[in-house]
Each structure stands twice: as C-alpha cells, then as structure tokens.
A and B are shown apart, each in its own frame.
Chain A
Amino acid sequence: MLMADSKPLSKATNTTAAGKAAQDAVRFDHVTISFQIRSGNEVIAVDGFDLGIQPKQFVALVGPSGCGKSTLLRAVAGLIDPTKGQVRVNAPDSLSGFARVAMVFQAPTLLPWKTVLGNVLYPVRFGTKRSGVDYSQRASELLDMVGLTRFRDAYPAELSGGMQQRVAICRALILDPDILLMDEPFSALDALTREELQFEVRRVHQKTGKTILFVTHSMSEAALLADRVVVMAAHPGRLKDDFLLDLPTDRDTATLDLPEFAGYVRRIRDGIYGQREGK
C-alpha cells in the first residue's frame, strides 16, 4: 500500500460551512457549462462542479483532455459564462474588476509589435490601477525576478519559447492580481525549460502568496507544484478527487525522489484511470 493512500487526506478542504465558503478566493457552485456544437447537439463540458479554493492556495486542476479543466479556468477569467451555477471570485482587498484575476495561457500570447517591457505593461492601461504604484518600475522588478532584465527592449520574436512564457507570467503579475490562472502554461515547452519554469512558478507563489489555479494534464507537474490537487474525469467533466499534498514548501528536483511524491502521482493516476491494477 502506498503512503498517500493510507494517509488521512483532508476532506475539510472542500468544506461546506457557509462561513468558510465566504472566505474562498474562488468558489464554483454547481457549475455546469455546455456548448452547442455545429450539429445542434449540446455537449456538456462540465457537469455540476463544486469547489472552493482558499486564498493563497496553489491548486492544480488535473485531468484528461475533454474533462473541462480549461473551461473552468476560462469561466473564472470571465471568458465564458456558466450555463448553470455560479463562479464567484472574492478578493481580499478592495480592488475591483479585472485587476484581481490574471491569466497565463498555453501559448505566451505576446503582442509581437510590442517590446518585452511593452507587453508586460499592456494590462496597465485597462486594469484597475493601485494608486502610488510606478508600473514601469514594477515591470522592471518582475523582469528582474525572472532574469529577463537584459531583454526588456527586445521583441518577442527574438526570445525563446521559455523566455516568452516568462514574459507572459510577468504580464500576468503586473497589476498584482490576487488570483493567477494558468492554463497548461508549460505544455508547449521542452522538458528542460519546463522544469526550470515549474520551480520558478513555485518560487513566485512562495514570494507573492497568490492564489494559483493551475491547469495541467501532467500528473507529475500537478504533484510537484501544487498544495492541493483536484482530479477531474471527462465526458462530462466532473470532480473525481480532491486532496491536499503534504510536501515541503520549497520544491526542487529532490522533491521528485520523495516517496510521498510518487504516492501522490499514483493517487492522481488512480483518480484519472480508476483503480486499475498494475497502472
């Protein structure tokens, strides 16, 4: 028996207490999202999804393709409206509107006609600004944090894929959002760059204390990065498993060798494939 299976993993994360729910950073209430496909049929992407995410929690949403994990993320970002139910975003401070949530897409999605600095500063003109913040200085600090200071005046085409995704992360952080949404941000990168950026995102989380909702189809990525893993099943997309990870706060390559880590990956796998022998 693997350790993770025998461990009493908290069910309290998904608390139903009303007082607790009000404090959630993101709350999904019976969220159902369906799409009309061309043939006229309705496809249910997510069916009756319930989840509360506490502030500063790093949550990985993992599941096979078609489980609606990206759809849920897009609903938090306001890109789609739930067909039924509700997605609520609560911010701890008084900031309103779009500054509270920022999204990092699968592709870097940089504007090719803007420099690195221009891209990082792009959200500033639309979002709710905090008074007294020098945003170009903040942009420089963020670029410094991800080691891109030298490239602030470069154009995206001059950067590697990993560097571009770093810029996209800086852009997401420029307005100091409370909630960071990441939609398979590293799936288009090579393995080495991916590993490097994974630890970087973990560091950003440690440093800034943002609530992070991270969508991935990689079981090891989910276990490596998150404090809490939500496993989803497909057709229709629904919640399959939800547990907290008891791993060191600082993650590095040594984390991969921990027996607990292997146990968590196993548990995610079981959640996705069902309890199959020899899997």
Chain B
Amino acid sequence: MKPNLRPILLPIIAFVVLIAAWQFIVVAFEIPAFLLPSPSAILKAALRFGWPLLTVHTAATLETILLGFAISVVLSVPLGVMLASNKLASEAFYPLLVFTHAIPVIAIAPIVVVSVGTGLNARLIVVTLISFFPIMVSTATGILNAPKDMLDLGRTVGASKWQRIATIALPHAVPFMFNGFRIGIVGAVIGAVVGEFVSANSGLGYLVVRSTSDFDIPMAIAAVIILAVMSVTLYQLTAVVQTRVSPWAPQSEN
C-alpha cells in the first residue's frame, strides 16, 4: 500500500469492516429491526421511501440550516467585534449573552413555537440560538488576539481606533472566525433538527419523529445518517471556503 493512500484507504477499510460486523451481528443474533436494524435494512428503507421524497426533506432541512447559519453570522460577527473593541459593551452584555447561550435550546424550542408560531421562523430562532455563540466568541477572540506590534504600527501610521480594527484586527480575526463557523454550522444542524422536532411537517428531523412513531426504525436511522453526512460535508465546506478566503493563514487542524 502506497503510504500516501493510507489515510484514505485505512478508514474506508475500517468502515467496511464495521458495517459488515454490524450486519453479521444483527443477522446472527436475530435482533429485531425496531431494536437495531441491519445496514441492509436501513438502505432498503431509504430506497422504499424513495430518493425524490428524501431529497425534498433533505432540502427543507438544509434550507433551515443555511438560513439560520447566515442569520447567526450576520448577528454574531458585528456583535463579536463590538464586544472585543468596547469594554463597556463587553462588560454590560457579555454575561447576558453567556446566559442566553446557557439556555438549553431543546427546552426553549417548544416555547419559541408557541410565541412565534410553527413554521420556518421558529426553526430559524432555534438554529440561531445554538450557532451564534461560538461565532461571536471566536470573532471577539480573534480581535482581542491581534498582535500588539501590528496595532502599534497602525497607530504610528495614524490609523484611528476603528481603522485599526477594520484594517488589522478584523483581517487578523478571519481564521478565528472560521473556527467559530465550523462549530456554528454543526450547531446549526442540531438546531435545525430540534426545530423540526417541535415545528415542521417536512425535513429530516420531522422524518425521524414520524418514522419512530411508526416504529419504522430503519427509516429513522436512514434520516439520521443523511443528517450526519450533511453535517460533515458542511463542516468540510467551511474549511474549503477558509482556504479560499484566507490563504495566508495556517490551516487549523480539523
């Protein structure tokens, strides 16, 4: 085996072995499908459900994730900048924001549905509640982490405080922000599913709830697998965007 293929081949082999073991155990011990369905049963369930319908549900969830994530970014980046650059604002609002983040989102989701009604809005609020915090904190960290030397340089060339933030601290914070984006996007997937649990008639989260109430466990697991794949893909996608946006920054370890 070529050494450069190892990091790709090794996990694939491990994955195939695990799936095979799973299939073997389920078949050999005759485990009922509602307790633990076999991989082949999950695939069959997905096929039975039909890809077109599955695509519709996937698209619905993806819409919630991306919109909610976008709202988080739009809110959190300026908020992070403000917290990092204004001591008064940070002292006044930071504890409040920590408290907001400390609220178990799953507990607040049904309440959100009551106050804003079922529908996309409720789901977006849930997604934003989960993903705004890591983005805000990482933006603030990046701003505060700006090297003193560089800020001194800004002062010696006559840049005002906000000019120093805009031309030095903010670009410096971009890789930090992307760390937040990566955590935020995975949080957004969780938020979208929670949102769909409490208020949706489509989406993969809704599919999980509906399938389990029908004791169609293979179908529920199929939906969960799609969610996991989506989550990993979005996570990797932010890394790809990061290398495009800030090629100068050392890529952080995934």
Contacts and interface: CB of A to CB of B under 8 A. Distances in A.
The judgment on whether A and B are partners is yes
Given A109-B149, A113-B171, A77 B156 contact: yes
B157 A122 contact: yes
B150 A111 contact: yes
Interface in B154-211: 154-159, 163, 167-168, 171-172, 174
**Residue from B157, B247, B248 whose CB has the most chain A CB atoms within 10 Å:** B157
A101 B152 CA distance: 13
Given A111-B171, A113-B171, A113-B246, A105 B152 contact: yes
A81 to B, nearest CB: 12
Given A107-B149, A109-B153, A126 B158 contact: yes
A157 interface: yes
B90 to A, nearest CB: 22
A175 B149 CA distance: 20
B158 A98 contact: yes
A111 B168 contact: yes
A127 B167 CA distance: 14
B156 A98 contact: yes
A274 interface: no
A123 interface: yes
Main secondary structure of the interface of B (DSSP, over half): helix
Interface residues of B, number: 21
A237 B186 CA distance: 55
Contacts of B152: 74, 79, 103, 105, 109
B12 interface: no
Interface string A116-150: 00000011011110000000000000000000000
A102 B246 contact: no
B248 A102 contact: no
B153 A105 contact: yes
A99 B157 CA distance: 7
A209 interface: no
B241 interface: no
**Residue from A103, A123, A126, A156 whose CB has the most chain B CB atoms within 10 Å:** A126
B232 interface: no
10 contacts: A97-B158, A102-B157, A103-B153, A109-B153, A122-B167, A123-B158, A126-B157, A126-B158, A128-B158, A155-B248
Interface of B: 147, 149-150, 152-159, 163, 167-168, 171-172, 174, 246-249
Given A105-B152, A113-B171, 11 more contacts: A74-B152, A77-B156, A98-B156, A98-B157, A102-B157, A109-B150, A109-B153, A113-B172, A126-B158, A127-B157, A128-B158
